[in-house]
Amino acid sequence: MPRNAESTAFRSALEVIRGVEPRVADAIGAELADQRESLKLIASENYASPATLLAMGNWLSDKYAEGTVGRRFYAGCQNVDTVEALAAEHARELFGAAHAYVQPHSGIDANLVAFWAILADRVESPALKKAQARHVNDLTEADWFALRRELGDQRMLGMSLDAGGHLTHGFRPNISGKMFDQRSYGTDPDTGLVDYDRVAEAAREFRPLVLVAGYSAYPRKINFRIMREIADSVGATFMVDMAHFAGLVAGKVFTGDFDPVPHAHIVTSTTHKSLRGPRGGLVLCGPELADQVDRGCPMVLGGPLPHVMAAKAVALAEARRPDFADYARQIVDNAQALAEGLLRRGAKLVTGGTDNHLVLIDVTGYGLTGRQAEQALLDSGIVTNRNAVPQDPNGAWYTSGIRIGTPALTTRGLGTAEMDTTAELIHVVLSQTSAGVGPDGTASKAKYVLDPALADKISRQASELLTGFPLYPAVELG
């Protein structure tokens, strides 16, 4: 697209929106300004391309399309069929999967689709068969009770939250924790790495129906071949949630034993993290689970979002281009440069480094909680998020870690030299911040002391660092 076409497209869209509700147009414009200004290091965020963003703002949004391609509960879905089929084809080709389902609205939804597909495949349940055969609105309360009784407490083994696992892998605050009796595997207390012998031991003891691999805060690769062998040894279905590292799989940085697709029975992902697409999810599987997966809507999903599937098709087409592999490699090079820069300045990192897109700083080394560190960095124009570290003494709310990731800054074009500067800025803020005290004079896990002049100075330096790497350079909103 010519540069001025991008500018015209976004400007015109805002002008039209402004004619109805100017405050929405203002908020959209302000979001671009904020994103341009800040050093975005949230490991799960990125910047989608203008083509991907524009594919979402149109009348495809107006169409209901429950069901799947060629088998809809609504008439007139021919154009939705086109975009859904295209997105699925790009996903299959990109990841080398036999089947792709591109309707999930998020990673949680993708996981729910996968869990129901696994249950339907593995558990003998007349109530589940009935639930699958009918529209969800036609099920009675008795049907739901029968379903619960027949499914019982099926078992799931996944990575523990404080080792970097995800809430949707059977933890209580998520519905997966109510659907499954969950047990988790942690990481080695000395190295912070997954200990496959201990995973195998836990699998032998617990005999899970589902073994899940995948993470949102583990800075290393996982050997999916070994995990599959463990799953096979206990008759478990092996599921990988690659939401965080899908871009590294797409860009062929994670290959062989580290590519989940040839090893897992079923793979789920988001599309908006390292994959750099629109906000959404997808599921990949072999032919044996395909039929159950395709029942995702209306079984556990609301009507598909055709405009988002169109954007998924665009983003997946982009990820199939050779330059996406360069991007994926650069994400990891940048994360490693950031980790090295931090280590050289004395930071303590979980596992001592990274081989993916994220770095987890243990900020107890700076005498801070994750919450204090997160806020001090935010004051200084550096956007990160707090995260638990293994065996976290501060729990899941305050935490002891700061998770930082490179997909977004890599999209802007920053390289390893800028990562060293970024490490310097982070280190200066964290080493100059001290823990504050509460109103009663006792140590606080939330309050912190940071000289506002220093925070301003770092914000300016962060902003200067970004000046050579404009975000959406063709888009001028005036």
CA 317, 322, 326, 328: dihedral to nearest 10 degrees? 40
> How far apart are the C-alpha atoms of 461 and 243, rounded to whole Å?
32
Residue carrying structure tokens 């992902």 = 269
Residue carrying structure tokens 């997160």 = 374
> How far apart are the C-alpha atoms of 168 and 194, rounded to whole Å?
19
Q: Which of 241, 318, 340, 418 is catalytic?
A: 241
Shortest Å, Cβ 167 to ligand DSN: 7
Shortest Å, Cβ 242 to ligand DSN: 12
Please state, in angstroms and as integers, the Cα–Cα distance from residue 310 to each residue in 1, 61, 94, following that order.
17, 10, 16
Task: Give residues with Cβ within 8 angstroms of 268, minimum separation 6.
Answer: 104, 107, 110, 111, 113, 114, 214, 239, 240, 241, 242, 243, 281, 282, 283, 284
Shortest Å, Cβ 375 to ligand DSN: 17
Shortest Å, Cβ 107 to ligand DSN: 5
> How far apart are the C-alpha atoms of 342 and 422, rounded to whole Å?
9
At residue 270, what are phi and psi to the nearest 5 degrees? Answer: -95, 170
Is 273 designated active site? yes
50 vs 214, beta carbon nearer ligand DSN: 214
Is 270 designated active site? yes
Site string for ligand DSN, 209-248 (x = CB under 6 A): -------x--------------------------------
Is 66 designated active site? yes
For residue 208, cis peptide bond before it (omega within 30 degrees of 0): no
216 vs 271, beta carbon nearer ligand DSN: 216
Is 345 designated active site? no
Q: Find the residue with minimal CB distance to ligand DSN.
A: 44
**2: which strand partners?**
none
Site string for ligand DSN, 180-199 (x = CB under 6 A): --------------------
80 vs 308, beta carbon nearer ligand DSN: 308
> How far apart are the C-alpha atoms of 380 and 462, rounded to whole Å?
8
Under the criterion CB under 6 A, does residue 274 sit at the interface with ligand DSN? no
Under the criterion CB under 6 A, does residue 44 sit at the interface with ligand DSN? yes
Is 241 designated active site? yes
Is 40 designated active site? no
Q: Which of 279, 329, 348, 457 is catalytic?
A: 279
216 vs 394, beta carbon nearer ligand DSN: 216
> How far apart are the C-alpha atoms of 215 and 219, rounded to whole Å?
9
Residue carrying structure tokens 């797409």 = 250
Quick one: which of 255, 253, 239 has its CA closest to 117?
Answer: 239
Q: Which of 40, 228, 273, 403 is catalytic?
A: 273
**401: which strand partners?**
362, 387
Shortest Å, Cβ 174 to ligand DSN: 10
What are the tokens at 30? 């302000």
Under the criterion CB under 6 A, does residue 407 sit at the interface with ligand DSN? no
43 vs 305, beta carbon nearer ligand DSN: 43
At residue 154, what are phi and psi to the nearest 5 degrees? Answer: -70, 150
216 vs 269, beta carbon nearer ligand DSN: 216
Which residues within the stretch 88-127 sit at the binding site for ligand DSN (CB under 6 A)? 107
132, 299 in Cβ contact below 8 A? yes
Shortest Å, Cβ 217 to ligand DSN: 7
Q: Which of 45, 66, 89, 424 is catalytic?
A: 66
Quick one: which of 455, 213, 223, 253 has its CA closest to 335?
Answer: 253
139 vs 167, beta carbon nearer ligand DSN: 167
Shortest Å, Cβ 216 to ligand DSN: 4
Shortest Å, Cβ 156 to ligand DSN: 17
427, 342 in Cβ contact below 8 A? yes
Using CB under 6 A as the binding criterion, the count of chain residues that bind ligand DSN stands at 3
263 vs 272, beta carbon nearer ligand DSN: 272
Under the criterion CB under 6 A, does residue 164 sit at the interface with ligand DSN? no
Q: Which of 237, 270, 354, 406 is catalytic?
A: 270
User: Which residues would be at the binding site for ligand DSN (CB under 6 A)?
Assistant: 44, 107, 216
Cite the active site residues: 64, 66, 241, 270, 273, 279
